[in-house]
């Protein structure tokens, strides 16, 4: 195919694998963005959770796009619990605390993606799946964390839907790929319009 090279501005193995499985050849380059500092600024300004995710995705895409030629994909996902952003748990104790807070409630995964080219954003998309967590007992949470292991700390909600995380939910409204971290279908559609993929 013709079209610009594709770069994934991320160290996320999940996003890289989703692209590869869908037939998109993308080089992964870490953007080296200070996410904690950026989030602190956004939250000091009382920015909506969805807007925080979009700003971070844009920041990552632009940073890599300023140094590399091609279509640079930046993505970010934030868990929105009643308007409060919830970050990845720092340790297993915090993961347990998060799951207790999610128990019996519905949250949104604000999942933003921005494509930058020549240091400028050229396309953006936001998806926000809604996930309803069933009431979780403390024994289940402890067993779930013990079985799943510390890999959960790399995920925003302390769950991997493709694994035991499926047991946490009674209802999911939204796209499976988006929950895994990448709104894949609209992204593929855009890459077709750019000649990266066959239409």
Residue-range domain boundaries for the chain:
6-193
Tell me if residue 45 is catalytic: no
The active-site residue out of 36, 51, 76, 163 is 76
Tell me: the pLDDT tens digits for 66-75? 999 999 999 9
Gap between the Cα atoms of 169 and 171, Å rounded: 6
Q: What does the mean pLDDT of the chain come to?
A: 95
User: What's the gap between Cα 101 and its chain centre?
Assistant: 20
CATH number of the structural domain 6-193: 3.90.950.10
Tell me: the pLDDT tens digits for 3-35? 789 999 998 888 999 999 999 999 999 999 999
Contacts of 152 (CB under 8 A, 6+ apart): 89, 92, 95, 145, 158, 159, 160
pLDDT at 12: 86
38 exposure class (CB count in 10 Å sphere: 0-12, 13-18, 19+) = middle
Please report, in angstroms and rounded to a whole number, the separation of the first and last CA atoms in the chain: 11
* Per-position b or e across 100-118, b if 16+ CB within 10 A of its CB: eebbeebbbbbbbbbbbbe
Q: In the structure encoding, which two tokens stand for residue 171, read together?
A: 């209802």
Length of the chain: 199
Angle at 187 between CA 166 and CA 15, to 5 degrees: 45
Tell me: the pLDDT tens digits for 93-106? 999 999 999 999 99
Strands (E) in the chain, as ranges, are 6-8, 26-28, 71-81, 84-86, 106-117, 120-127, 130-133, 169-173
User: What's the gap between Cα 22 and its chain centre?
Assistant: 17
Query: What is the model's pTM?
Result: 0.93
Give yes or no for a contact between 78 and 110, defined as CB atoms under 8 angstroms apart: yes
Q: In the structure encoding, which two tokens stand for residue 34, read together?
A: 């200070």
Gap between the Cα atoms of 94 and 87, Å rounded: 10
Angle at 196 between CA 126 and CA 154, to 5 degrees: 45
The percent of residues in the chain predicted with pLDDT above 70, rounded, is: 99
pLDDT at 2: 52
Tell me: the pLDDT tens digits for 142-158? 999 999 999 999 999 99
Please, which pLDDT band fits residue 1 given cuts at 50, 70 and 90? very low
Residue bearing tokens 């020549």 = 118
pLDDT at 13: 85
């Amino acid at each position: 195919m013709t079209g610009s090279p594709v770069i994934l501005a991320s160290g996320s193995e999940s996003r890289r694998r989703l692209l590869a499985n869908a037939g998109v050849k993308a080089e992964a380059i870490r953007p080296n963005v200070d996410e904690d500092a950026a989030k602190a600024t956004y939250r000091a300004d009382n920015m909506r959770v969805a807007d925080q995710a979009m700003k971070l995705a844009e920041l990552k895409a632009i940073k890599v796009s300023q140094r590399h030629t091609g279509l640079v994909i930046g993505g970010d996902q934030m868990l929105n619990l009643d308007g409060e952003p919830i970050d990845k748990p720092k340790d297993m104790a915090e993961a347990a605390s998060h799951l207790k807070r999610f128990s019996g409630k519905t949250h949104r995964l604000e999942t933003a993606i921005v494509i930058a080219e020549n240091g400028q954003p050229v396309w953006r998309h936001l998806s926000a799946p809604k996930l309803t967590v069933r009431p979780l007992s403390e024994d289940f949470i402890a067993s779930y964390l013990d079985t799943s292991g510390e890999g959960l700390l790399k995920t925003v909600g302390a769950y991997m839907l493709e694994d035991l995380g499926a047991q946490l939910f009674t209802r999911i409204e939204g796209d499976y790929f988006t929950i895994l971290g990448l709104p894949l279908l609209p992204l593929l559609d855009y890459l077709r319009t750019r000649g990266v993929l066959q239409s």
